Amino acid sequence: MRRFLVWFLGCALAGSGAPALASALEPYVGADIGMTEPLNGNFRGHVDVGFLVSPYVGVELHPNVGFQASPTFYFFSQSGSFPGMPGQGRQETTMVAISGGPRFQLPMESQLGTFVPFIYGSGGYYAGTSGRLSQSAPGWFGGGGVDYRLSD
């Protein structure tokens, strides 16, 4: 019963905004560059904080809500040397992910232009491409930041 209620409310909410969404769909593109911190304790034991590069495409469903999809490239340095493990010392670990999810933003006008603070969450599939850990699995991530719009 609970699943049905959640499904029904979700459909009702999505359907209630359908006429407005049809006229408000705005595509957008961009790129994120930032820091990444692994949350999984096992993975965190092998790598330090890293950085990511993520070009994305999305559609703005409302001025404050959108959906975006992206390939994301992660780069981590090893957390230290592992004595007695040949070839397993300081070695970079890289991963790639294909994912998508919601984006919530709050555009703000200023004399310098439009600043857009945002948060987003995304789920997808991750694959290790090099380094000590190279498994593949589904996963999720969240993030946020501030965009500066270059054009309207």
Per-residue pLDDT of 69-99, as tens digits, reads 999 999 988 765 555 444 454 568 899 999 9
Predicted confidence at residue 101, as pLDDT, reads 96
Per-residue pLDDT of 101-143, as tens digits, reads 999 999 888 777 778 899 999 999 999 998 877 789 999 888 8
CA-closest candidate to residue 69, choices 25, 125, 10, 148: 125
Alpha helix ranges (H) inside the chain? 2-16, 18-24, 41-44
35 within 8 A of 47, measured Cβ to Cβ: no
Q: Where are the beta strands (DSSP E) in 24-148?
A: 26-36, 50-62, 65-76, 93-105, 108-110, 113-130, 136-148
Per-residue pLDDT of 46-62, as tens digits, reads 788 889 999 999 999 98
Predicted confidence at residue 110, as pLDDT, reads 75
